[in-house]
Structure 1
Amino acid sequence: MDTLFYITMTLLGFVGSFFSGMLGIGGAVINYPLLLYVPSALGVGHLSAHDVAAISMFQVFFASLAGVLAYQRRSGTEGSVLHKGLVAYMGTSILVGSLIGGVASGGLDADGINLIYGILAVVAVILMLIPNRSAQSGSNETLQFNKFIAVSAAFIVGIVSGIVGAGGAFMLIPIMLTVLRIPTRTTIASSLAIVFISAIGGVIGKLIGGGIPLWPMVFTVIGSLIGAPIGSKVGAKLDVRLLRYGLLILIGFTAVKVWMPILVK
């Protein structure tokens, strides 16, 4: 039973981090519902919402780190370039927010965590449906964005993502695309770096809050370290429209999955 459980955790970590690298997300947007429902559905184990939030935060940390390193190795050769200014402004703000959210999550029950996640997913879907016709073009050196909106949005996303154990990219990417009007490939590459910084605060918050399931987390992280570089390589070769639609479908699916039990209750 334990062997099957840990194999399942490794595979789920791989799946989540594959999409992390491909779409520029931390992976929690898909890993949260997978970890919450798949082990129970297969009869190999059970994880509470608090367990899943803690595991997801560590998975996001390592998956985003692996994804950033993979993108950096190919920076400038395949059109996937980090924007250092964007990462600095949004990364610093989201770090503070995720630290606050990670500590605060210990005082919420499972239903509260699931509700917050469900609301975030719905908002992200709505933002992704907004046409992005006015995205900027040109090099990263000439890229301009509203710093106040970037910092404020990152701080708010950091708080709520720290609560549910997510890096926040599934909210950051729609904001960067539709509000800040950042080009898709720059958004995907930069968001992974921002998510990694966010995960630092989230991990510290989870460590302070306690209650981390050690071995399930370890095996999930192992899968993440394998899947993220593969996903980033695939994502760099895909059309930007496919990446955007893929993220939209992914977020929409997880939103429905999380809201179903909430609405039933």
Structure 2
Amino acid sequence: MDILLFMSMMLLGFVGSFFSGLLGIGGAIINYPLLLFAPSGLGLAPFTAQEVAAISMFQVFFASLAGVVAFRKKGGQTAVVHKELVLYMGSCILLGSLVGGFGSRYLQEEVINIIYGTLAVIAVVLMLIPSRVKQDTMQGEIAFNKPIAAAAAFMVGTVSGVVGAGGAFILIPIMLTVLKIPARVTIASSLAIVFISAIGGVIGKITAGPIPVWPTVFVVLGSLIGAPLGSRASSKINVRYLRYGLVVLIAATAVKVWASIL
């Protein structure tokens, strides 16, 4: 039974991290509902929302790290990381994720699920707003509102730290529609920002309480395999389809989570 559980956790980690590398997300937007419903549905091990959030946070950390490394290796136009954007948003999301990760210990399971479901719905709405940003804008020509970027990153970090997410599933729509950052730059830069967020989130979860160690280890192992494969596939897919794919994934998980709450 334990072997089946661990193999299942590894597969879940692989799935989440593959889409992490493919779409520039941390993977928690997919893995949170999977970890919450799949193990218990298969009769393996029911995890609480707090445990799922902790496992997801570690998965996000290692998946985003692997994704960042893979993007850096590719170089060129497929990996355009805007350093100033990462500096501003990364430092603020780090502080927010520390606050959210530590504060999650005081929240009930239903509250955590509601926060996740709300974030997912907001992300879908933002992603459906048409973006008029040119996709071929060069990195040096990008200008963005720094106060808005910093404030948004802190708020995203706080709420995503609660549910064990890196925050990319809400951060990406904000970068695309509010800050008007080109899609390729958004995907590459958001992965670096999510990694910084995950550092704070992991610290917060460690201080918040016990973590299911072995399930977390196998989820992370799956993540280390899936993230590089996803990032390689991303360079072969049209940016427009990456955006539509992200909308579909977020919408599907939002429906599942809200169905369980209601």
Who is 1:173 aligned against? 172
CA contact (8 A) 1:136 1:181 kept: no
Letter in 1 for 2:62: F
Identity %: 66
1 CA distance for matches of 2:235 and 2:97?
Answer: 28
The C-alpha deviation readout for 1:80-139, integer Å capped at 9, x for no partner, is 211111111000000000000000000001101000000000000000010002346421
Note the C-alpha offset of 1:10.
0.2
Who is 1:61 aligned against? 61
2 CA distance for matches of 1:33 and 1:192?
Answer: 21
CA contact (8 A) 2:61 2:202 kept: yes
TM-score, scaled relative to structure 2: 0.98
CA contact (8 A) 2:156 2:170 kept: yes
TM-score, scaled relative to structure 1: 0.97
**Residue 14 in 1 paired to residue 14 in 2?**
yes
2 CA distance for matches of 1:55 and 1:134?
Answer: 36
Who is 1:37 aligned against? 37
Letter in 2 for 1:101: G
Structure 2: runs of 5+ lacking an equivalent: none
Count residues in correspondence.
262
2 CA distance for matches of 1:135 and 1:181?
Answer: 9
Q: Secondary structure at the match of 1:4?
A: helix
1 CA distance for matches of 2:133 and 2:24?
Answer: 21
The C-alpha deviation readout for 1:237-265, integer Å capped at 9, x for no partner, is 110000000000000001001000111xx
Letter in 2 for 1:236: S
Letter in 2 for 1:102: G
Q: 1:135 to 1:179 in 2, by over 3 A?
A: farther
2 CA distance for matches of 1:124 and 1:138?
Answer: 24
Note the C-alpha offset of 1:59.
0.2
CA contact (8 A) 1:136 1:143 kept: no
2 CA distance for matches of 1:75 and 1:155?
Answer: 29
**Residue 218 in 1 paired to residue 212 in 2?**
no
Who is 1:151 aligned against? 150
Who is 2:130 aligned against? 131
Letter in 2 for 1:8: S
Task: Give structure 1 regions of 4+ aligned residues with deviation exceeding 3 angstroms.
Answer: 134-137
C-alpha RMSD over aligned residues: 0.9
The C-alpha deviation readout for 1:55-80, integer Å capped at 9, x for no partner, is 0000000000000000000111x522
